């Protein structure tokens, strides 16, 4: 993820995988975790935002989540999350 306030997990066949977050922000991302999603199948990303990381911030923010695959051509996808932190 692009910020320590954002983490993400993947849900496949109703099983939620481990949380991943920005490296170096006090979290240890799972090493070597993977899930095989056959062609034509779908999975869901769950993105979590922790407003307490930026307690004094108010307003619009953009965060990014990166998903990597074994596709030799299109191996990285960037998902952009837009939010408005009010309280």
Residue 12 lies in a domain: yes
Residue 70 lies in a domain: yes
pLDDT of residue 31: 84
> For residue 67, what are the domain limits?
6-27+36-85
Distance CA 23, CA 2 (A): 9
pLDDT of residue 22: 87
For residues 54-75, average pLDDT: 91
Structurally, the chain folds into a number of domains equal to 1
What is the reported pTM? 0.80
DSSP characters over 26-76: S--PPTT------TT---EEEEEE-GGGGTT--EEEEEEEEEE-S-SSS-E
Q: Which residue has the higher pLDDT, 31 or 76?
A: 76
Residue 1 lies in a domain: no
pLDDT in tens, 8-58: 999 999 999 999 988 776 677 888 888 999 989 999 999 999 998 888 999
């Amino acid at each position: 993820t692009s910020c320590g306030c954002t983490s993400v997990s993947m849900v496949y066949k109703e099983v939620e995988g481990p949380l991943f977050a920005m490296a170096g922000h006090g979290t240890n991302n799972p090493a070597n975790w993977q899930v095989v999603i056959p062609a034509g199948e779908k999975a869901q990303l769950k993105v979590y935002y922790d407003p307490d990381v930026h307690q004094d911030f108010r307003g619009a923010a953009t965060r990014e989540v990166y998903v990597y695959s074994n596709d030799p051509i299109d191996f990285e996808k960037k998902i952009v999350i837009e939010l408005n932190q009010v309280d």
